[in-house]
A and B are shown apart, each in its own frame.
Chain A
Amino acid sequence: MLSLILRRLIQLPLLLLVIYTVTFILAWTVPGNPLEVEGRRPSREVEQAMRARYNLDDPFKFYGEYLWGALHGDFGPSLTYKDWTVSQVIGASLPVSIQLGAAAIIVALFLGTTVGAFSATRREGWGGLGGLADWGSMSIALIGISLPTFVTGSVLVMVFGLWLGWLPVGGWGRWDQMVLPVITLSLPFAAYIARLTRLGMIDVMTSDFIRTARAKGLSQRKVITTHALKVAFLPVLSFLGPAAAAAMTGSFVVEQVFNVPGVGQHFVTAVANKDLFLIMGVVLVFATLLIVFNLIVDVAYQFVDPRIEEG
């Protein structure tokens, strides 16, 4: 266990250096003048002064000095948001993305496991209706996976924000502003978790230890919650790591639809504006986050499933 964590921690800086270098090459070769704003070019002397100031004429100097600064937590100034440093931009938006992503994953987890377990255990019974319930919930799950978030998001905005007026159409900070974006972001994950849980449950419910539990006279509910779910949950857990990372990084569309001031928009606008410092900063911080997340999931997995041994 310890050696795994150690090994991963040693890999971390190397991996980041590779990511930094690739991002740097891509960002540097994106055509366009980073000093130009909204089609107006600065005058010659102004441009010269700025280029000298930010090492924009010397890729090697930029590469080295930026890396040195980043190691000290200084990601440089934002060329677009002149009054803010990149660290401030990330500091203001990253917590929002993490809140949104974490909330969405939690909702997805409860929703997904409940629907999945329900669907798996109701396949027989209720006359012929049980199969229908299973079929119905799985169809909904499939739709949930297939529908892009900008569709579900826009529909939710229209229905709950504009027609019914129950919830605000956008913004971030109050609980009521969180409801729609969190639900929108959680739906595809919930649907996937539901399918995973259902498959796991069907598998588990026919196994010997469940039969034993039933034979002991345990109630159906007890059998499911204390015995079956525990094992059926394993594939869900391994899905959670990448899912959490995807929810926190991949919420760009949801952020756009619901006007959530997260970090996703900076990925896109920084590239469009060729804001070199912001591109590099956002990528570095996110890459670190992703790597750490995956490490946590790997460690957690070992705790839960003793069958996995470090190799």
Chain B
Amino acid sequence: MRLVICLLILIIVPLALAVMWQPPTPRADLTTAYIAVQTLDPSQMQASEDIRMGYALFEGLTTFDPYHFEVLPGVAERWDVSADQLTYTFHLRSDARWSNGQPVTSHDFAATWQQGMLPDFAGPYHKFLRHIRGARAFSEWAGESLKQVSAIENDEAQREAGEKRLRDVSVKFKQLVGVQVVDDRTLVVQLERSTPYFLEVVACWPLFPLHRSVIDSTKLDDQTWMLRRDPQWTRAGRMISNGPYRLAQWQFKRQIVLERSTQYWNKDQVKLNRVAALNFANPVAAFNAYESGAIDLVVGIAVPFRAELVAAARDGRRPDIHPVNNWGTYYYTFNCRPTLPDGEPNPFADPRVRKAFALTIDKQRIVEHVTREFQQVAHTFIPPNSIAGYTAPDGLVGTAEDAPRLLADAGYPNGDGMPTVVLMYNSGGGHENTALAIARMWEQTLGVKVTMDVNEWKVFQDELAKGNFMAARVGWFGDYGDPTTFLDLCQTGNGNNDAAFSDPHYDGLLAQAAQESDATKRLAILAEAERYILQDQVPIVPLYYYRLIHAFNADRVQGVSLHPRNLQFFHRMEVRE
């Protein structure tokens, strides 16, 4: 007994000390929540929560007005564009500073982009850099030379080859890539082809500069002879960034604290001195914290009772709940491969079958009675009014009454001869109800049999890639302000073309648009491409635009963007007490 008591005291005392040790910290100007931040290295970012932090900590040559998505000057105070729109000359502002006080120079951008183009670092959005002339050739050289180094058997020879490759990188970059550092404050960028949205690309996180200490820390990995960078530079106290905020604290799975940078060129416009983002592994816990007043702002609530929140917002009971459109489309995709993986012919290879199934879906019914979130029904793939100058085409023409005739034309009158339709969706996330409702619509109107294939997320992704489905629920969010961010998904060979849709006319339209230097004409060609898939080919059926639900008291917290592209800039927000 005495022993047990001793043991207990031994445990309790250090425990109590550990708990009491933490001094209470004053509440930040704005406290928000995040579910999972995977990286604070902008070149490796891909999830929206990471990117939100990226825009607080870093700034590109240009930046956005997050409310209307106009491009604004960032590190570059102005730029010149050549008449052929192939050469951009950026003039960097003299007062652009890193958080340690050093000036941000054009060298920083060139060096960061050089590493960003290497397969060694493999950033998820490295393709943003491909707009720059020679970027592809440089990447391919780097990939090829890496392959050659890997093939060498002798260790010593391999090390030498690896080191030679490292030396060659800068030489090749200068030779191949259209990026010239004229002086510290002038950067000339040549493009592969005219890219009307290039200034937007420049504002995005893969093109943010990294401090030269990060670039210089790159070493050769002694196993693969690839270039490696120590990812620990993103820790608070070590990170040097150039944005409106500096990283004051990053406690893993607990919180990220941002403090206004005293070096940021536009610091006088930054209202919030301290922003704390608390980590919640569970969205319900985050919402509870909001309800208890512990946090001020939740961006994109992902709780199971979203429909109830939308209902409360719609009838005015909860003015602090803000349902808005997101820059993404929830859609169903049809497998367009001629045969299924088991070798059987695929009825959905016929556009008439796809059209029949698409026409049968009552989208309004789904958003009102199934999801009950009252999302905006989608007739187009690209969310409307999200891209300046782009006029969306009309959606699929026809009604559910036309569907049986189309199916009969394709050789399946009343569904006779149709194999059982396999409808695939991923478990969790509430896709089941929508899938069941759609299956019932198909069965009732078309006389076909539908079976469900439910898979856990990773398996679902694998099956999609393998084409092991007939119809599947998918979704897509745009990356940059151009129709191609959506339309590329139906291009032959695109990595996310789940339908494996391959159509020479469509690919031709995209190629034609890529060659077109007149922005208006180019957008018209892209609109025709979108019309072609929506009306004629129907590899996809857009159901609705994703809904975002933000929670914040609009009288208190101001400057939260309600634009569908959902970039939240803490440095544009304000809290009124």
Which residues of A are interface residues toward B (Cβ below 8 A)? Answer: 30-33, 36-46, 48-50, 52-53, 77, 80-84, 88-89, 92-93, 99, 102-103, 106, 109, 157, 161-162, 165, 168-175, 178, 229-230, 233, 237, 255-259, 261, 265, 269, 272-274, 300, 303-304
Contacts and interface: CB of A to CB of B under 8 A. Distances in A.
B124 A37 contact: yes
Contacts of A171: 254, 278, 289, 294
A135 to B, nearest CB: 29
A175 B288 contact: no
10 contacts: A33-B458, A37-B124, A45-B139, A83-B234, A168-B294, A169-B288, A174-B22, A178-B19, A233-B1, A259-B289
A263 B524 CA distance: 53
Contact of A38 (B18, B46, B119, B465): B46
Nearest to A41: B495
What 3 A-B pairs are tightest by C-beta distance, nearest first?
A32-B458, A261-B253, A46-B122
B465 to A, nearest CB: 7
B294 A93 contact: no
A233 to B, nearest CB: 7
Interface stretch (B36-44, B515-523, B531-539): B36-44
A174 to B, nearest CB: 6
Given A38-B47, A46-B122, 4 more contacts: A40-B496, A99-B19, A173-B254, A259-B279
B146 interface: yes
A168 to B, nearest CB: 6
B27 to A, nearest CB: 12
Contact of A272 (B4, B39, B458): B458
Contacts of B4: 233, 237, 300, 304
Contacts of B294: 168-171
A37 B38 contact: yes
Nearest to B458: A32
Q: Which of A45, A48, A175 has the most CB of B within 10 A?
A: A45
Nearest to A231: B1
B281 interface: yes
Interface stretch (B8-16, B68-76, B313-321, B551-559): B8-16
Interface in B120-143: 120, 122, 124, 126-127, 139, 143
B122 A50 contact: yes
Q: Which of A36, A84, A230 has the most CB of B within 10 A?
A: A84
Nearest to B147: A48
Contact of A41 (B119, B282, B496): B496
B224 A92 contact: no
A173 B120 CA distance: 39
Contact of A88 (B12, B252, B292): B252
A99 B18 contact: yes
B337 to A, nearest CB: 18
B82 interface: no
A53 to B, nearest CB: 6
A250 B382 CA distance: 45
A129 B468 CA distance: 68
B461 interface: yes
Interface residues of B, number: 65
Contacts of A88: 252
Contacts of B171: none
B157 interface: no
B83 interface: no
A32 B292 contact: no
A65 B291 CA distance: 48
A178 B47 CA distance: 31
Given A37-B47, A49-B120, A82-B39, A173 B22 contact: yes
A32 B254 contact: no
Contacts of B40: 83
Interface string B1-39: 101100110011001001110101000000000001011
Contacts of A170: 280, 285, 288-289, 294
B279 A303 contact: no
A272 B495 contact: no
A244 to B, nearest CB: 10
A106 B15 CA distance: 11
A182 to B, nearest CB: 10
Contacts of B38: 37, 80-83
B251 A92 contact: yes
B301 to A, nearest CB: 15
B462 interface: yes
B119 A46 contact: yes
Given A50-B122, A99-B15, A31 B252 contact: no
B457 interface: yes
Given A83-B232, A92-B253, A99-B19, A49 B280 contact: no
Contacts of A92: 251-254
B456 interface: yes
Contact of B226 (A53, A80, A162): A53
Given A37-B124, A173-B254, A272-B457, A102 B292 contact: no
Q: Which of B126, B127, B224, B288 has the most CB of A within 10 A?
A: B288
Q: Which of A89, A92, A171, A273 has the most CB of B within 10 A?
A: A171
A43 B288 contact: no
Nearest to B12: A106
A162 B46 contact: no
Nearest to A46: B122
Interface string B157-172: 0000000000000000
